[in-house]
Structure formats: C-alpha cells, structure tokens
C-alpha cells in the first residue's frame, strides 16, 4: 500500500543525494539552469515530488531530463520510484493539475476557486523580481586568502552603497562564490533600510526585450533606476546583445550619476570581455575589480567544517580534511559531495566514516572521469592557455614555462581521466611513468601554496569543461 505524500526531511535528503550525482553527470550550465533551484518537497513509497521554480523548468525536466533524473533517483533510493515535478510558490507546492499535497493527511486539497487567493498576483511581465536566497549571507560565507578582497569589498558596498568602490566587479570561475556575495550584499543592504535589486543578466535581457515588445520601456527604466543598489549577475552574457547593452549602459549611467551602488559579476576579468562595448568596459574598469581564486586547502577544510556545524552532526575534522584534499575543483562541487555524503548516510542509516566517504567520493570521481575530455584535448587546452605550441609540451625538456605547462597537463590528465602514469606519459610524447608521478605530486603540492597556479589550473579546467 502506498503511503501518503509528506513534506518530510527525507524528501529533501533524497533529492540532495540525487543532485550530488546529477551535478557530476551534467554540464555546469545545464545543472545551474535547470536543477540548482529545485528541492525535494514530498515523498511516498512510490513517488518523489520535486519542487521547481516555474512551469517552464518543470516542462524542460519532464521532456528532456526525466530519464536521467529517474535513473539517478532510483540508484540513490535503492529502488525505482516515480519522480514528479511541481511548481513551488511561497513555500507551497502546486502540481500541474493545480492541487497541493496536504502536509499531514496526504490527499491533495482542491484548489481555491479564487485564483487570486491561491497564489500571489503575478507582477507585470517586465517587473519579475528575483528573490534573495536566505542561505547566501555574509555569516555563511567562509573567508580565506582566495576570496578575502572580494569579501571585504562586498561588505563595504553593502554597508555604504554608492560611497566606496562604485562600481564593484567580482569575477571568478564557476562555483567559487560570486552569486553568494551578491545575495549577501542584498541581505545586508536591505537590513540597513536600503532597496537592493538582484537580477541575472539573462533575466535582465528578457525583461528588456519584453519591455520593448510591450511598450513598457519607461517602467523598465524606472524599476532599475529607483533601486539604491543594482546587482547584475554574469555580465558576460551581455556579449553580443547590442540592444540590451544599450539599455544597461543608460541604466548604469543614471544610477552612477545618482550615486547609487552597482555590483557586477563576471566569469573573467573586465579586460577580457572583448565583445562587450568599450564604453561599458571602461566604466566597469573605473571602479574596483576583485577576483575570487579557487580555494586553498585550509579554506576548503573551513568550508566543510562550517557545513558540519550547520548540519548539527557529530562528524570529526578528519572527515573534513579527507573531503577537502580530494575535491578541489570549486566550492559548489565540494558542498555537493558533502551533501551527498550526509544524504547517503541518512538514507542507509550508516555512520559517516572515512571508508564510507571514500566509497562515495570514489563513485563521484569515477562518474566524472567517465565523461572527461580525452588527453589530447587537455594538452591542447593547456598549450592554448600558456600560449605554447602543443609540440613544445610533448617535446623534450624546454624553457621553464614549457616545463610548468607540461607538469600541469600531466596533473590535469591524472585528475580528469582514468589513465595511469604510463598512459599519461605516452600522451605527452613518451615521458617516463616515474616522471609523471613525480610531476603530478609536485603540482599537487604547489596548488596549496601558489594561488596563481591554483587559478591557472582552475581556468584551464573551466575551458575544457566549456569546450
């Protein structure tokens, strides 16, 4: 007999565990677009309900990703279970048939006959606000050498918007905390009586296009120009969108002239946003530009220790160190693996030990390596990054920069594929397997003491992932 659907922690834990695996099976942009803002909302013996932000996401998951999601959930759950997607609004789950699972009795309650009472009235199409994530605040942001400048600047503009560092641009690779800082700025500014506006570049573009189509350009301008603080996430997506760049340029000028704070994030330095209009790049470069580097070992350990404290679990610091030593791509993947460990332990009622964590991480790394780029692609990416010819990397001993590039290529191939030292040596022109082992160990040691190299390796990996 099927039990009734309940909004229990088990639903959240089951879905978190599934997300941990899905993150390793999908490209980063796809995961961020379709799964990042989802949550497990209800579960029964035969069904898991996944809450999604809107009907468009629900339709895309159902049409394009349902098979992958179902297989992953079945694997995590230990047996097949139906997965259903429901739109969540203001903490309630609304399914495609307009019915809400009752939190205690299980059977769905009929929808309110008055739609205006059932859900908040939708804002005009060009005024869709994106809420701030309550988890992304300054207290939850772990500060280390890799991000201390960006954190200090973000805190300063949140407390004194328009006075210091205007505009502020924060750039980094994927999953290192840019969006977290934007939301944290918004929370702090709001607590001080300010009126912040957070928007992704994608949504800004969509709003601007809707405003033009519907003749609401004045409303669009008024909305953004009335903010005390504008936070625009991922400005690199403005590249190639000339009309939207025009709208952003005039909005920027109006806010800046009125001493309103502007905070921008990007996946690369302002100087590298080549196809962005010169007048926009020059204005961004006129403020403070702060980068976030991949976290060092100490910061990664601190992040896991913070997550352990938030979880209320009795987990020893040795587990944090074990995880941090093995997951170093970005913070998002580190946290995702930790969440998967917690969920797996809860679902199987097992104690969290080094052996359990090792097995879970091994599965994750194996999944990631199965879809890794071939060694030739990695060598090409390293050569391109260091502005070298691939023959130089594969050739005999060369200049110092060639030797470093070769060592980095060996290290990334080792981390991203299932190849052993001998096969890696062959991919690099027949290098001896002992040389590969020595160089990989050398790069691993350098990554925790050399922030420049850490950023280089991170950027190369991002380039390979986006290829």
CATH of the domain at 237: 3.40.50.300
Which pLDDT value is given to residue 169? 92
User: Pick from 370, 400, 426: which residue ends a domain?
Assistant: 370
Looking at 263, 291, 319, the residue that finishes a domain is 291
**CA–CA–CA angle 229, 235, 239 (5° rounding):** 140
Q: Residues with Cβ < 8 Å from 136, sequence gap 6 or more?
A: 179, 180, 182, 183, 184, 187
| Residue whose entry in the numeric block shows the structure tokens 């639903």 | 11
As a whole number of angstroms, the distance between CA 151 and CA 181 comes to 7
Read off the CATH number of the domain in which 414 is found.
1.10.1750.10
CATH code (residue 19): 3.30.300.180
* φ and ψ at residue 426, rounded to 5 degrees: -65, -40
Distance of CA 437 to the CA centre of its chain: 32
Backbone angles phi, psi at 47, to 5 degrees: -150, 140
At 440, list the tokens.
Answer: 């990989």
Residue owning tokens 């190299």 = 453
Only one residue has tokens 């895309």, namely 60
130: in domain: no
Q: Residue 367: which region, alpha, beta or left (left: phi > 0; alpha: psi -120 to 50)? A: alpha
Query: 101 and 145: one domain?
Result: no
Does residue 128 fall inside a structural domain?
A: no
**Which residue's structure tokens are 């990334």?**
412
What single-letter DSSP state applies at residue 62? Answer: I
The enclosing H or E element of 452 equals helix 451-465
CA distances from 442 to 108, 292, 303, 383, 438 (A): 59, 24, 25, 19, 6
Start-to-end Cα distance in the chain:
49
Is 146 in the same domain as 286? yes
Among residues 353, 370, 387, which one ends one of the domains?
370
Q: How far apart are CA 142 and CA 226, in angstroms?
A: 32
> Is residue 40 within 8 Å of 49, Cβ to Cβ?
yes
Write out the residue range of the structural domain in which residue 37 sits: 9-122
Environment class of 367 (CB within 10 Å of its CB; exposed 0-12, middle 13-18, buried 19+): middle
CA–CA gap between residue 69 and residue 55 (Å, rounded): 17
Work out how many domains the chain is built from and give that number: 4
Q: Tens of pLDDT along the chain (467 residues)?
A: 334 444 578 888 889 888 888 877 776 666 777 887 898 998 888 899 999 887 778 877 887 788 889 988 988 888 889 999 988 754 343 333 333 333 333 333 333 433 333 333 334 433 445 678 888 999 989 898 889 999 999 999 999 998 889 889 998 887 888 999 999 999 999 999 998 999 888 888 888 888 888 888 888 888 888 888 999 998 888 877 777 888 888 888 888 888 889 999 988 777 776 656 677 777 787 889 898 888 888 888 888 898 888 888 888 888 888 888 877 767 877 888 888 888 888 888 888 888 888 887 775 555 555 456 789 999 999 998 888 888 889 887 667 778 899 999 999 998 888 788 888 999 998 888 889 999 998 998 887 677 778 778 878 887 787 65
Q: CA-to-CA distance for 83 and 75, rounded, in angstroms?
A: 13
Task: Clarify whether residues 117 and 150 are in a common domain.
Answer: no
Same domain, 160 and 249: yes
Q: How many Å apart are CA 317 and CA 201, to the nearest integer? A: 39
Q: Distance (Å, rounded) from C-alpha 190 to C-alpha 300?
A: 29
Whichever domain contains 355, its CATH number is 1.10.8.60
Q: 283 and 326 in one domain?
A: no
| 1 is a domain residue | no
φ, ψ at 164 (rounded to 5°): -115, 145
Whether 144 and 287 map to the same domain: the answer is yes
DSSP state of 6: B
Residues 115 and 163 grouped into a single domain: no
97 and 50 inside one domain = yes
CB atoms near residue 272 (< 10 Å) = 12
- Residues 244 and 317 grouped into a single domain: no
Provide the b/e sequence for 127-164 (b: ≥16 CB within 10 Å): eeebebbeebbbeebbebebbebbbebbbbbbeebbee
How far apart are alpha carbons 375 and 225 in whole angstroms? 50
Let me know whether 89 and 39 are in one domain.
Answer: yes
* Residue 43: closest CA among 17, 64, 61: 17
Q: Are residues 157 and 283 in the same domain?
A: yes
Other C-beta atoms lying within 10 Å of the C-beta of residue 459: 18
CB–CB of 357/322 below 8 Å? Answer: yes
pLDDT at 101: 39
Instruction: State the Cα–Cα distance between residues 93 and 7, nearest whole angstrom.
Output: 10
446 shares a domain with 398: yes
């Amino acid at each position: 007999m099927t039990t009734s659907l309940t909004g229990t922690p088990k639903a959240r834990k089951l879905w978190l565990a599934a997300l941990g695996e899905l993150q390793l099976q999908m490209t980063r942009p796809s995961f961020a677009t379709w799964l990042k803002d989802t949550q497990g909302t209800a579960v029964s013996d035969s069904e898991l309900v996944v809450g999604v932000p809107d009907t468009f996401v629900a339709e895309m998951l159902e049409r394009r990703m349902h098979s992958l999601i179902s297989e992953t959930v079945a694997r995590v759950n230990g047996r097949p279970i139906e997965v259903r997607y429901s739109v969540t609004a203001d903490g309630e789950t609304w399914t495609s048939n307009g019915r809400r699972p009752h939190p205690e009795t299980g059977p769905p309650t009929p929808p309110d006959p008055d739609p205006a009472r059932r859900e908040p009235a939708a804002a005009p199409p060009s005024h869709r606000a994106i809420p701030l994530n309550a988890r992304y605040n300054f207290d939850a942001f772990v500060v280390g050498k890799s991000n201390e400048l960006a954190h200090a600047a973000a805190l300063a503009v949140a407390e004194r918007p328009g006075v210091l560092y205007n505009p502020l641009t924060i750039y980094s690779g994927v999953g290192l905390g840019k969006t977290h800082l934007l939301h944290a700025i918004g929370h702090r500014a709001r607590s001080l009586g300010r009126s912040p506006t957070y928007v992704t570049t994608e949504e800004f573009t969509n709003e601007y296009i809707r405003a033009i189509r519907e003749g609401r350009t004045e409303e669009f301008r008024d909305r953004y120009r009335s903010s005390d603080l504008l936070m625009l996430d991922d400005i690199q997506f403005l590249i190639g969108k000339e009309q939207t760049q025009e709208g952003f340029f005039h909005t920027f000028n109006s806010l800046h002239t009125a001493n309103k704070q502007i905070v921008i994030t990007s996946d690369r330095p302002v100087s590298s946003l080549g196809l962005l209009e010169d007048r926009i790049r020059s204005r961004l470069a006129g403020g403070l530009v702060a980068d976030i580097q991949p976290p060092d070992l100490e910061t990664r350990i601190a992040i896991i220790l913070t997550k352990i404290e938030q979880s209320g679990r009795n987990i020893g610091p040795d587990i944090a160190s074990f995880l941090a030593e093995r997951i170093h791509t970005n913070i998002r993947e580190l946290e995702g693996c930790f969440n998967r460990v917690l969920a797996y332990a809860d679902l199987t009622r097992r104690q969290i030990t080094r052996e359990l964590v090792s097995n879970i991480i091994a599965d994750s790394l194996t999944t990631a390596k199965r879809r890794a780029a071939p060694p030739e692609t990695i060598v090409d990416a390293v050569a391109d990054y260091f502005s070298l010819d691939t023959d130089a990397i594969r050739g005999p001993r060369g200049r110092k920069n060639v030797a470093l590039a070769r060592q980095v290529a060996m290290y990334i191939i080792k981390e991203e594929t299932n190849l052993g030292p001998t096969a890696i040596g062959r991919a690099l022109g027949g290098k001896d397997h002992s040389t590969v082992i020595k160089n990989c160990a050398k790069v691993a040691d350098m990554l925790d003491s050399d922030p420049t190299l850490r950023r280089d390796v991170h950027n190369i990996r991002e380039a390979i992932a986006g290829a």
